[in-house]
Chain A
Amino acid sequence: MEVERQCPQCGKVIPSDQVGCPSCAANGTFLRSLSRETILLLCVPVLAALFAITSTAARIYHSQQRALAEEWYQRGEADLKAGQARTAIGDFGRALVYSRDNRLYGLRLAQALLAANQVEEARPYLLNLWQHEPGNGTVNLELAHLAARKGDAAEANRYFHNAIYGVWEKDPENQRRQVRVELCEFLLSRGERHAAQAALIELAADLPKDAGLYAHVGTLFLQAEDYGRAFEAFRQALHLNQRQQTALAGAGEAAFQMGNYREARRYLERAVRLNPQDAPAAQFLQMTNLILSLDPLERGLSAQTRARRVVFAYQQAVERIRTCALKRGEALEGQQPATDLQTAYARVMQIGPKVRETVLRRNPDLLMQALELIFEVEELTARDCESATGTDLALLLIARKRGGAE
């Protein structure tokens, strides 16, 4: 039985009467003349040449890629600066297509996505960058922003601290300071006053001589209700720039909050003079003036003025307690006192006939007794009724200041 032979070159069947394949006889005669070992040896220079050609092509290709990536990156930067975040996303995306591993492009893309409010899309890019550079300050800061947006305080805190102690390529001290400021603002926005105070103390410990910065830190201390440090920060700011209006207003407010009304008035008057449009400062000044004009225990008052102020405060307290009872629907007269308000009213009425200028001027003990009762009424009504305003607020603040002093 004849076995059918197939040409290994072209696969066609070789007729039995022929040794070689007639189809391929004309082809490959050169290779046919060489031994197999020679062909294998010839492969070496051929492969080397091919390798060199491919490497050169790859180098040219990569350099073109880099140039294209840079071009798209520059376009993205321009678009981002112009506030066109959505266009910038496309630009940075294309830059990344050409230079996939460029972390700067990835970061800018994530920032553009954040700017366009595409938070969920930005997150994976940032996490990817973080995996490569866990100590990168910018990446940690952006991740902190992301966590803050999500309301994940623990994660935000972690990333903020990573950013503070992270690596910053340009101006690291200033960048870290800015992050601390952001951390404080974040903590304050979440009502974490004590944590914010701690962060602010660290921040304030190493501030450059910049009045604006001191004023901003002072404002943050004010928000953290650390009035002493706030006042000190504003004072430092004013030391650097006496006409720093924010610092004047802030120092006034801090002094006000600490009960230093005379000092507060001094700063607030200057602040309002510099900027009459500063409504909060004007309101603080107004309240400060009211307090200073109502406080019966102010130093240097004559006995008559002191007694007159107590009488006025007494009348104000009676009016306040009546209004409060009316709003609460409680009857104050004609029955046995049962509530705090009724008890307080009964005591106020009991002392009423004695609260006169002439009597009080001669009897300092009675004056103090009346004053204590007035403060008590203001505290009670502030607790049980609506917040005090105007004169009542001034009396309440005086009460708190004097109560604290005692």
Chain B
Amino acid sequence: MNTSKLGILQRLRLRENQIFLALTIILGILCGLASVLFSLAIEGTRQLLFGLAPSSLRLLMVPTLVSLVTGYLLAKFFPEARGSGVPQTEAAFHLQQGVIAARVPLGKFLTGALCVGSGHSMGREGPCVQIGGGLASLMGRWLRLSPTRVKDLVPVGAAAALSAAFNTPVAAVLFALEEIIGDLNAAHIGSAVVASVTAVIVERSILGNEPLFHVPEYHLVHPAELLAFAALGVAGGLISLLFCKGLLRTRAFFLRMRAATAIFQPAMGGLIIGAVLIFFPQVMGVGYEYVDQALNGGLPLKMMLVLCFVKLAATIISYASGNAGGIFAPSLYLGAMAGGAVGVVVHRLAPFPTSDPGAYALVGMGTLFAGIIRAPITSVFMIFELTQDYQILVPLMIANMLSFLISRRYQPRAVYHALLDQDHVHLPESGGRAAAASRLARDIMTLNLTFIPPGSSVEGAWKLIAENQSKCFLVGSQETLAGLVTRQSIAEAMQSGKASDPLTSLLVSGWTHVHPDHLLELALERFRQNPGLLPVLSRGGTHRVEGVITLETIMQFVETNPQG
């Protein structure tokens, strides 16, 4: 009876990849719920703190006083929750094996809702990325997944949370790949897609199917209009540059202040933001309602120009003073205003017929996103996903490319990475990551193979390996590998009088292998599971040995490729 029960339980045991898949779906639901709750918390906080028509005094005092509270929380309990959350998630992924402490998502939720809800000019997407990544990391550890799997889950959770926060599942997946992993060819794409789609389903089932923005229809009215979009790209690049430089310099100024002031710095920012809100309440919080107005041509030229620069300054102050909130939404806000303004000017002055200014606002959103966040592919797909219109792609790509190039030319380090640099965290450049990822098992293996014939006895094998110092040996031939055997097992068999036994009785069970095109990272992980030797087998015939990886070959590789 007990044996049969144990058998059933054994059959119910899930393998690691099955658990990973189940967890991916669970994370999709969890991160979707977290994002929805976070958005509701921000709006609820805003309504609670500001009411229907706040007085000037209230506008001044709410961000100041709330920032005093969040300043204390951020300094004492949740230091990792300052700022956007995207660079912290990247750092956790690349430098900490995806380990994010449990307090981080909790702290980010709490301080993010308070900061953005109290009127700071910041976005909710960055915090959602950190919350999602944090939840994923936590769940992975609770389920005792391998460190590699835990690391893999971080971008999956981030993509799920972002897709629910911004309602663009494809762009969210691309953002996770392009920004967090830094590699669009990453193996995590399948899991990220599953989680992202699940999160969007959850979000839409709760909040409804309404899109985030009412986007105008786009038609290229005249070919010369592409020049106008190019001009928008240049303007977007310059504004991106202004934003990035301004943010980094202002943050450096705050960081140079005495450490004791860290608790009060968010409140200093809050005071300035409060003063700004008295005159420009439009820059409060996420501000998507004004983005929507700009997209639909509901804002006059002067207002869009003013809001573009006031929002830029307000976001710099909010972020640099150490509050919790992102720059994802502000970059879209700036883009909508700048694009809308360019659109109105072109509409009025161009000697040829042009699209509505709303179309320019839409392209402007992608342009500033490409310039500030430096995720050009995500930006193109994000706008495409919002419009579901192929016609927008050409002007969007022109403007994005120009903005991206200008921004990168004069601010070589991407803003998220530069922010981490200021915190003395140095992420590898995506080029370096790609180079590391491009190292394959064939680069590290040796072709110098030694086989013990499978028909050998233990004694015969013992004689064969007498002059070899290796710990583990291949049994079989190059064309037909029978298995592995360790020096220790042969020695033990000899000592216990089993010299005449066939060698095959000593073969190692459960040994692993790689193929020549497997990534170095995987090869190293599998090497750890083997007793000092990892066979590299052909994909065309999985008994055919193409090489082996040993500790010596690894050391040799490290010596000859110091940057590898």
Contacts and interface: CB of A to CB of B under 8 A. Distances in A.
A58 B36 contact: yes
Given A37-B13, A121-B297, A125-B296, A54 B144 contact: no
B97 A6 contact: yes
Given A8-B99, A51-B29, A125-B296, A71 B52 contact: yes
A342 B404 CA distance: 83
Interface string A97-133: 1001100000001000000001011011100100100
Given A37-B13, A121-B300, A8 B206 contact: no
Grouping DSSP codes into helix (H, G, I), strand (E, B) and loop, the A interface class, with mixed when no group exceeds half, is helix
B90 to A, nearest CB: 15
Interface stretch (B18-26, B177-185, B461-469, B538-546): B18-26
Contacts of B101: 10
Contacts of B52: 68, 71-72
B1 interface: no
A58 B300 contact: no
A123 B296 CA distance: 9
Contact of A36 (B14, B217, B292, B298): B14
Contacts of A47: 26, 29-30, 33
Interface string B155-188: 0000000000000000000000000000000000
Given A40-B23, A125-B296, 6 more contacts: A8-B146, A28-B142, A51-B29, A58-B207, A124-B216, A124-B296
Nearest to A109: B298
B37 A8 contact: no
Interface string B30-42: 1001001100100
A134 B42 CA distance: 36
B297 A57 contact: no
Contacts of A131: 217
A47 to B, nearest CB: 5
B37 A57 contact: yes
A40 B293 CA distance: 44
26 contacts: A8-B141, A8-B147, A9-B141, A11-B96, A11-B97, A36-B19, A36-B143, A39-B143, A40-B14, A43-B26, A47-B26, A51-B206, A54-B206, A57-B37, A57-B40, A58-B36, A58-B207, A64-B47, A71-B52, A72-B52, A96-B289, A120-B300, A124-B297, A124-B356, A125-B296, A128-B216
B206 A61 contact: no
Contacts of A72: 52
A37 B14 contact: yes
Contacts of B37: 53-54, 57
B466 to A, nearest CB: 23
Interface string B138-151: 00111111110010
A100 B210 contact: yes
A50 B336 CA distance: 35
A178 interface: no
A107 B150 CA distance: 52
A124 B210 contact: no
B564 interface: no
A71 B53 CA distance: 11
Contacts of A54: 33, 36-37, 40, 206
Interface residues of A, number: 43
A6 B37 CA distance: 33
B358 interface: yes
A50 B214 contact: no
A315 interface: no
A218 interface: no
A371 to B, nearest CB: 61
Nearest to B214: A128
B557 to A, nearest CB: 14
Given A6-B147, A11-B99, A100-B289, A39 B358 contact: no
A313 B142 CA distance: 115
A343 to B, nearest CB: 55
B259 interface: no
B292 A8 contact: no
B99 A93 contact: no
A101 B208 CA distance: 12
A279 interface: no
Contacts of B528: 3
Contacts of B22: 40
Interface in A46-103: 47, 50-51, 53-55, 57-58, 61, 64, 68, 71-72, 93, 96-97, 100-101
A61 B43 contact: yes
A1 interface: yes
A334 B501 CA distance: 155
Contacts of B210: 100-101
Interface in A1-45: 1, 3, 6, 8-11, 28, 31-32, 35-37, 39-40, 43
Interface string B112-146: 00000000000000000000000000001111111
A131 B296 CA distance: 12
Contacts of B142: 28, 31, 39
Nearest to A1: B551
B40 A61 contact: yes
A109 B12 CA distance: 61
B289 A128 contact: no
B455 interface: no
B116 to A, nearest CB: 15
Contacts of A28: 142
For the complex of A and B, 6 pairs with smallest distance between CB atoms: A124-B297, A11-B99, A97-B289, A124-B296, A9-B141, A36-B143
Interface in B520-540: 528
B432 interface: no
B521 to A, nearest CB: 14
Given A36-B143, A54-B36, A57-B40, A124 B26 contact: no
Nearest to B96: A11
Interface in B63-121: 96-97, 99, 101
B12 A37 contact: yes
A43 B13 CA distance: 17
Contact of A58 (B26, B145, B206, B298): B206
A36 B206 contact: no
Contact of B299 (A8, A64, A121): A121
Nearest to B292: A100
B44 interface: yes
A54 B199 CA distance: 13
Contacts of A8: 97, 99, 140-141, 144-147, 150
Contacts of A31: 142
Contacts of B217: 131
B232 interface: no
A97 B292 CA distance: 9
B268 interface: no
B226 to A, nearest CB: 22
Contacts of A3: 528
A11 B92 CA distance: 10
Contact of B99 (A10, A32, A43, A125): A10
Contacts of B40: 54, 57-58, 61
A124 B144 CA distance: 55
A6 to B, nearest CB: 6
Nearest to A51: B33
